[in-house]
C-alpha cells in the first residue's frame, strides 16, 4: 500500500473470493486470507484520511473474521512490504488493521 500525493494506491490485492481452497503447494502465500478495505477520503479533496482493513479467512467458500494470529501475520507482511512506501499497519484491539503513513 502506498499513499502518493495524498491518494491511496493498493498493489496486488489478490482475489477477494477465490477458488484456490484445496489446492496444495502454495500454503505459504495464505490464499485463504483476504482484506476488506474501508477507505475514508476527505470529500472535498479526495485525499486519504483513514484506511481500515478487516482481515477475513475463507473456509468452505465462506468468509469469516480471521483469527488474531492471522491478523498479526497480515500485519507483518503488510509492514514488510510497505516499508519502501513509508506505510505501516497497526493491529487494533478488535483485530482490524489501520494504515499509518508518513
Any idea where the domains of the chain sit in the sequence? 2-101
Residue 6 has a pLDDT of: 95
Distance from C-alpha of 86 to C-alpha of 8, rounded to nearest angstrom: 12
Q: Give this prediction's pTM.
A: 0.84
Helix (H, G, I), strand (E, B) or coil at 67: coil
For the chain, which ranges sit under pLDDT 70? 14-29
pLDDT of residue 27: 54
Amino acid at each position: 500500500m502506498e499513499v502518493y500525493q495524498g491518494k491511496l494506491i493498493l498493489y496486488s490485492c489478490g482475489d477477494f473470493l477465490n477458488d484456490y481452497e484445496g489446492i496444495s503447494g502454495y500454503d505459504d502465500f495464505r490464499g485463504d486470507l483476504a482484506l476488506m478495505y474501508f477507505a475514508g477520503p476527505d470529500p472535498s479533496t479526495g485525499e486519504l484520511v483513514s484506511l481500515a482493513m478487516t482481515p477475513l479467512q475463507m473456509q468452505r467458500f465462506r468468509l469469516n473474521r480471521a483469527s488474531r494470529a492471522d491478523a498479526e501475520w497480515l500485519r507483518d507482511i503488510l509492514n514488510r512490504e510497505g516499508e519502501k512506501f513509508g506505510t505501516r499497519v497497526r493491529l487494533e484491539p478488535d483485530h482490524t488493521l489501520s494504515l499509518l503513513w508518513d
